[in-house]
A and B are shown apart, each in its own frame.
Chain A
């Protein structure tokens, strides 16, 4: 089904008992690591291969992974400990892809961690998994234990001079810990308050030591790139965004799921061919290309390639490639209300623009949806969002709330106005409530 490509990210995970060492090894797990160690390959050459492949981070920002690795200081000159923190705090609404890799192919991820550790000459790897992912955590921990018993993790791996520990670490339900410096604070046992940057993690990371933070799917790509080469990887996807990616598609579709597709595939193809189209034979009203922080786009723009540059040109962002589909009966004000509530809930509270701004966005969308909004509120949304972002706060959470707000005002101003004129949501009768899912005090 993949035009001109092959499945590699999800292939092993479809085998029975794929999470066990026996099945994974029979399928070739750790063979790339073994070859690299046997040859005694130059660590810099491994980094160069990843850099040349053009792999872009799959956690949302799309920063080139190999380039990030080169920011680590030279270990000959800087004798401090060195770490990789793998970001498995998958919490951006719509995003549900890393869970599949952690659960179905933990050994693939561990091999990626070890190759990254070899390339950057690290001392240890910490995999930060959101606390709710209990089964993925257990699978990963069991896989690490099995790998350690087989001499694949720990001291002198496979009899070589290369030693590396891989540790699991459990978060506790805060989205902000997916922000790389928030994650490091959390891993140190503190509140997940993002750090001002600079200094950047490569210079001052975990415990003040050089650290790289990479997303699960980014690291998962590494063994394939090291084995098959940058040219192979560039044979898939687009010039600026090579490779396959895991597209989670959710919302109003017939077959929601996590599908492996090449970057640059048309979003319409994913919706129609993979997800079976908009559910119940309905028409498409709007779609979100890459998780809740990427602005929604009108249905007419579905005919757009799913890669960083194309989605940007269409007026949104690729993000985590997590498509959320809204059918013709959906209310974009309601959707915005739910999304705004999320960022209000998740703001860490350090920066006033974010702490106050996310709360106001949530309040105003709620007012509009429940019939208490005015025409001035639409301008207020825009004004607030422009005072929150870009670049006005320690981290990008304020941007993540502002971007979808500006998108709905831009593309669906008429629907916002219709809520003011109708004194509430004109689309369908909804349960009366003051706020979406407000909790009552216990």
Chain B
């Protein structure tokens, strides 16, 4: 399946800010992941490789290096709980436990209904407002159990 035409047009524009086309690869993978089901399918990686005139394995090698790229399907909502030192000191383990309990998803997995994926993340740079999680690309900070329940309860 070819990349949608508007996305190709966007990527064509994107690579113009670099002297070499390949420099646009990581931002391009971001855009594909955002637009196409939240993960990078093997077909998408091949399409991206064709766009950049690279071997698919080169693109896979890059995509698999970076933790933000999903190479497997994810749930409708993706929750990443920071569990590094500043968050750990302020109860990140309890946040992880509560998020897994409320969503029915294990750490590193997806809930049986396909609604939630939960993962632990290394430092997100929100150390002074710990603990925190990233929900679908938005930071939620200074979490406590009431706040976690409220945020997750409001999701459809």
A positions within 8 Å CB-CB of B = 81, 90-96, 98-99, 130-135, 165, 167, 169-175, 186-192, 207, 248-252, 256-258, 288, 292, 322, 324-326, 330, 334-335, 338-339, 342, 345-346, 348, 430-431, 436-442
Q: Are A94 and B86 in contact (CB under 8 A)?
A: yes
Whole-angstrom CA separation of A348 from B62 in the bound complex: 12
Partner of B29, one of A134, A172, A192: A172
Residues of B with C-beta under 8 A to A440:
106-109
29 contacts between A and B (CB under 8 A): A91-B123, A91-B125, A92-B123, A94-B123, A94-B127, A99-B125, A133-B125, A169-B23, A170-B27, A172-B26, A173-B67, A174-B66, A175-B122, A188-B22, A189-B23, A191-B61, A192-B65, A192-B66, A250-B86, A250-B89, A251-B86, A251-B90, A322-B127, A326-B89, A338-B83, A338-B85, A339-B85, A439-B108, A440-B107
Residues of B with C-beta under 8 A to A95:
123, 125, 127
Answer whether A342 and B90 are a contact pair too, CB < 8 Å, given A172-B68, A335-B85, A440-B107: no
| 10 A-B pairs closest in CB distance | A439-B108, A172-B66, A189-B25, A173-B68, A250-B86, A250-B127, A189-B22, A173-B67, A93-B123, A172-B68
Q: Are A431 and B61 in contact (CB under 8 A)?
A: no
Residues of A with C-beta under 8 A to B122:
91, 93, 175, 342, 345-346
B155 lies within 8 A of chain A by Cβ: no
- B103-134 interface bits toward A, Cβ cutoff 8 Å, 1 = contact, 0 = none: 00011111000000001111111111110001
CB distance from A92 to the nearest CB of B (A): 7
Q: Are A256 and B128 in contact (CB under 8 A)?
A: yes
Residues of A with C-beta under 8 A to B85:
93-94, 251, 288, 292, 324, 335, 338-339, 342
Q: Are B127 and A96 in contact (CB under 8 A)?
A: yes
Answer whether A207 and B96 are a contact pair too, CB < 8 Å, given A130-B125, A189-B25, A251-B90: no
User: For residues 15 through 32 of chain B, which have their beta carbon under 8 Å from a beta carbon of chain A?
Assistant: 17-20, 22-27, 29-30
Chain B contact patch, size range:
35 or more
Residue of chain A at shortest CB distance from B129: A256
B positions within 8 Å CB-CB of A = 17-20, 22-27, 29-30, 52, 61-62, 65-69, 72, 83-86, 88-90, 93, 96-97, 106-110, 119-130, 134, 137-139
Q: Are B107 and A248 in contact (CB under 8 A)?
A: no
Q: Are B125 and A132 in contact (CB under 8 A)?
A: yes
CB distance from B101 to the nearest CB of A (A): 13
Partner of B84, one of A189, A326, A338: A338
Q: Are B93 and A132 in contact (CB under 8 A)?
A: no
Residues of B with C-beta under 8 A to A92:
123
The count of A-to-B residue pairs whose CB atoms sit within 8 angstroms is 165
CB distance from B66 to the nearest CB of A (A): 3
CB distance from A190 to the nearest CB of B (A): 6
Partner of A256, one of B97, B107, B130: B130
Answer whether A96 and B128 are a contact pair too, CB < 8 Å, given A251-B86, A436-B83: yes
CB distance from B121 to the nearest CB of A (A): 8
CB distance from A373 to the nearest CB of B (A): 19
Partner of A207, one of B20, B68, B124: B20
Whole-angstrom CA separation of A292 from B88 in the bound complex: 13
Q: Are B23 and A132 in contact (CB under 8 A)?
A: no
Residues of B with C-beta under 8 A to A250:
86, 89, 127-128, 130
Additional A-B contacts beyond A132-B125, A189-B24, A439-B108 (13; CB < 8 A): A93-B84, A131-B66, A132-B134, A173-B67, A174-B65, A175-B122, A189-B26, A250-B128, A250-B130, A251-B86, A338-B88, A342-B123, A439-B120
Partner of A258, one of B106, B107, B128, B134: B128
CB distance from A353 to the nearest CB of B (A): 20
Whole-angstrom CA separation of A98 from B129 in the bound complex: 14
Whole-angstrom CA separation of A431 from B101 in the bound complex: 15
Q: Are B96 and A437 in contact (CB under 8 A)?
A: yes
Q: Are B125 and A249 in contact (CB under 8 A)?
A: no
Whole-angstrom CA separation of A191 from B64 in the bound complex: 9
Q: Are A132 and B97 in contact (CB under 8 A)?
A: no
Residues of A with C-beta under 8 A to B106:
440
Q: Are B120 and A252 in contact (CB under 8 A)?
A: no
Residue of chain B at shortest CB distance from A258: B128
